A and B are shown apart, each in its own frame.
Chain A
Amino acid sequence: MFYLGIDIGSLSCDAVLIDEDARALAGAVVPTGARNRDAIRRATDEVLRAAGVSRDQVAAVVSTGYGRDRVDERLAAVTEITCHARGIRALYPATRILIDIGGQDSKCMLLTNEGKIVNFAMNDKCAAGTGRFLEAMARALQVDIDEMSGLDAGAAGTVTISSMCTVFAESEVVSLIAEGAAVNEIVRGLNRAIAARTVSLLKRIAPRHAELPVAMSGGVARNSGVVHALGESLGCQLLVPDSPDTVGALGAALIARERAHLSQPAPTSSR
């Protein structure tokens, strides 16, 4: 049998299918859009098709993300904090700190040696420094969001973005462009501002983090500039999986497998 994890975020709906041996067979990332049930169906179809598995071969589904209650076939809904922690430990078993920056949330989690969450912190009150923030900045710079990654190459770090309110930061970027600041310097300034905010969040839960392996998940982890700025601020190299968007869905699939096994009746002896 197979197990499906679905992570319905504000920007993307991600799915991962695993087999009985907990091997990931396929992953999908589709835009969530306004109708998240459509996104759930598209992401599910995509992983089933890629893995050559039919719907009735899926033994259990666990959902996560802000739209987790919208998955009708779910065995359980589990928060993205638990799912990301579970997913990253499957990929990088040494991880003790996980930074997950998605569409509208930033989260930092502190894990024990065994992978249990002992503390976590999330962004408060506003979504500055998340995927939505980067989208707005890309718009101000008139570049595609995917182009933002690496656009800071060669920057000397001469620009500082002082405002973390998305609207004010956008105005600041527009002013910097008008003043003739180089795009790579502006992008470096933005990356550093996101890193500073994230590090503050991280220090709340792990003030003494220097020795602990840090990993990153979520869509923003695809942006190498942000990852680099974070590594610079923390004084370490971050562990980033090839598909950081699907870490939560992978964790959800692993929990689906575990819970399905737990809910199966114990085999009875026959004479």
Chain B
Amino acid sequence: MLQQYFGELETGLLSAIRGSDGLVNPRKLYSLEVARLGKRLCSGTSPVAWCGITAPFDLLHSMGVTSSFVEFVGALLAVTGVAGAFIDTADQAGYSSDGCSYHRAVMGAASQGLMPEPAFLVGATNPCSGGLAAIECLARHYSRPLTVLHIPQDESGGNVAYLAQQIRVLAGFVTAHTGLPLDRDRLREAIENTNRTRAAMCEMYALAQRVPSPATSKDLSNFGVVLPLFLGSEAAVELACAYRDEFARRCAASPTTKKRETFRLMWIQNRIQFRQDLEKLLENEYKAVIVVDELNDVTWDEIDPEEPFEGLARRSISIPFNGTMERRVEHLQKLAREYRIDGAVSPCNWGCRQGTGARGLIQAGLEEIGVPVLNLEVDCVDDRKYTEGQVRTRVEAFVEMLHGRSSPWN
């Protein structure tokens, strides 16, 4: 069923990927890669690995493994409007209804046989303990081998070497359970692709920071969290370059886009995954554009192809959800300054300790530099809990409030 769905999605997107001007639409290219990944996961042509968010996907790609973090499946179920039924299945099996719906949807999908069976699983201790629990449950469910990467909180002491050694061991673990060897040339090629992707992303984000921003609210939705799934491949390079080139074109034509940007917003953590009109409402009725998401940033240095494991380790440690909350708040403040943000929206996904636990500190940290924060209380996956009127009132009142404030950057 899923393979057919992704196959049809791929066909549809391929025919629509170029506009009447013949140029590639980067958002459609992004969706195409998502469809292709979904299709590969379901095809059975290569071993599948279910992973935590900070797994080294470029290493797995170089070894011929199709891999994904499990929350990707939760988000896909939400987008297609079927997450609710799987969440119910998980709840009936005893998962707490106060838990994260990304993981509950995945557990329900696994127990109903919808998830492709993995060859092995790679958990990670960061950023999300709920995610690690879900991976452990899946390993038990499928009776497949699990390895866990213990991600240090920062780069101090021997932390990089410690994680790099674990990633080396991971390569051996993959070989042991799939028979696929680590080929140094293929790994080098993957790392070079990752570095090319990174360079294009840096240019793309620099363009997105311009006033007015060439980015619309939908352009980079989920981009920073999903792109790592494609790292190491030519497709990731092509995708980042497509966005960079499109943004450059829009910047060159900025007079036509200037009118639509009264307020520049930052989205904290992940977007609401099911279909709703929040971004459209903000953009069309209030000219309030989400120009940056928390995870849309390059926080890691280019990886040395001669020392790939150390570079991959540094990247895993660098993600803003890792380490202390102080570090996360500093990163959000940096983004707010770089993008000249007028206000931030935090969905505070139900059941997420990062989303809800950090709420007060994030709000205080951003208000300290003059950026107000709208805290919503939304289950980002389960649309049955979404009360449109309530959310709309909060969002509209927030924008009305912004009208009464002066910009923190004037």
Contact = CB atoms under 8 A, between A and B. Distances in A.
Interface of A: 66, 78-82, 105, 116-122, 124-125
B389 A66 contact: yes
A78 B377 contact: no
B256 interface: no
Interface residues of B, number: 13
Contacts of A125: 377
Given A79-B400, A81-B400, A82-B400, A116 B393 contact: no
B262 to A, nearest CB: 16
Given A79-B393, A79-B400, 15 more contacts: A79-B397, A80-B397, A81-B397, A81-B401, A116-B404, A116-B405, A117-B400, A117-B404, A118-B401, A118-B405, A119-B401, A120-B397, A122-B394, A124-B377, A125-B377
A120 B401 contact: yes
Interface string B367-384: 000001001010000000
Contacts, number: 38
Contacts of B400: 78-79, 81-82, 117
Nearest to A80: B393
Q: Which 4 A-B pairs have the closest CB atoms?
A: A81-B397, A124-B377, A116-B404, A79-B397
B396 interface: yes
Given A66-B389, A117-B401, A119-B372, A79 B396 contact: yes
Nearest to A119: B372
A82 B397 contact: yes
B371 to A, nearest CB: 12
Contacts of B390: 105, 122
Best-buried of B375, B389, B397, B400 by chain A (most CB within 10 Å): B397
A66 B393 contact: yes
Given A119-B372, A125-B377, A81 B393 contact: yes
B271 to A, nearest CB: 19
30 contacts: A66-B389, A66-B393, A78-B400, A79-B393, A79-B396, A79-B400, A80-B393, A80-B397, A81-B393, A81-B397, A82-B397, A105-B390, A116-B404, A116-B405, A117-B397, A117-B400, A117-B401, A117-B404, A118-B372, A118-B401, A118-B405, A119-B372, A119-B401, A120-B397, A121-B375, A122-B390, A122-B393, A122-B394, A124-B377, A125-B377
A268 B139 CA distance: 78
Contacts of A80: 393, 397
Interface in B153-204: none
Nearest to B350: A125
A117 to B, nearest CB: 5
A141 B250 CA distance: 64
Nearest to B394: A122
A60 to B, nearest CB: 18
B46 to A, nearest CB: 43
A118 B370 CA distance: 11
A193 B394 CA distance: 24
A82 B403 CA distance: 11
A148 B29 CA distance: 61
A81 B374 CA distance: 14
A199 B375 CA distance: 18
Contacts of B405: 116, 118
Nearest to A67: B389
B386 to A, nearest CB: 12
Contacts of B389: 66
A161 B189 CA distance: 66
Contacts of B377: 124-125
Nearest to B399: A79
Interface in B339-397: 372, 375, 377, 389-390, 393-394, 396-397
